[in-house]
Amino acid sequence: MPEQQWNIATRDGLQVSIRPAGKDDEGLLIELFDHVSPEDLRFRFFSAIKHVSRKQIADLIGVDHSAVESYIAFARDIATPIATAVLACDRDEKRAEVAISVRSDFKGHGLGWGLLGLMVQEAKNRGLETIESIEDRSNYDAVELEQNMGFSVETYPDDPRLLLLSKSLLA
């Protein structure tokens, strides 16, 4: 079976190829997260870490792909990974949570917007009703991006430091 792949162009013309991450991509994901800022790592993993552990990487790629899918993005002219996205479905297959990380030197191109758009489309393709994101209140860029893409925002239950952003996929 041929590997699935998507090609997008960001708002400033960066050509990006995206594919599901597989078990052989551990090294690529380690390399990617080594180029994500400490602040963005904190936003992504909700703790102060310097490096993403092999266990965290294994949790991203060694999963039931029908429930959790990790994606890896490459600029078309280089083999270096520049971003990753995860779409994790709930047991009832009605909701999915999305999380995106972009390499620091590729921020500002519209890559987060492009990946979030792809995750919304993939969630719709799976027949899900809602896509959600949990964000630190101080992650202003992510909150603004998601709101601009039609996500509503509310305080995360039991943790006032976090926000729950959600978008209905019904219509």
Q: Which of 70, 41, 76 is nearest to 58 (CA)?
A: 70
Note whether residue 44 is domain-resident. yes
pLDDT single digits (tens) 142-157: 999 999 999 999 999 9
DSSP secondary structure of 112-136 = HHHHHHHHHHHHHHTT-SEEEEEEE
Other Cβ atoms within 10 Å of 106 Cβ, number: 21
Domain span at residue 16 reads 6-131
pTM: 0.92
Note whether residue 57 is domain-resident. yes
Note whether residue 37 is domain-resident. yes
CATH number at residue 96: 3.40.630.30
d(CA 62, CA 57) in angstroms, rounded, equals: 8
Q: Which of 75, 129, 151 is nearest to 106 (CA)?
A: 75
Note whether residue 149 is domain-resident. no
Tally of structural domains, the chain: 1
The predicted pLDDT at position 167 comes to 98
pLDDT single digits (tens) 23-41: 899 999 999 999 999 999 9
Note whether residue 50 is domain-resident. yes
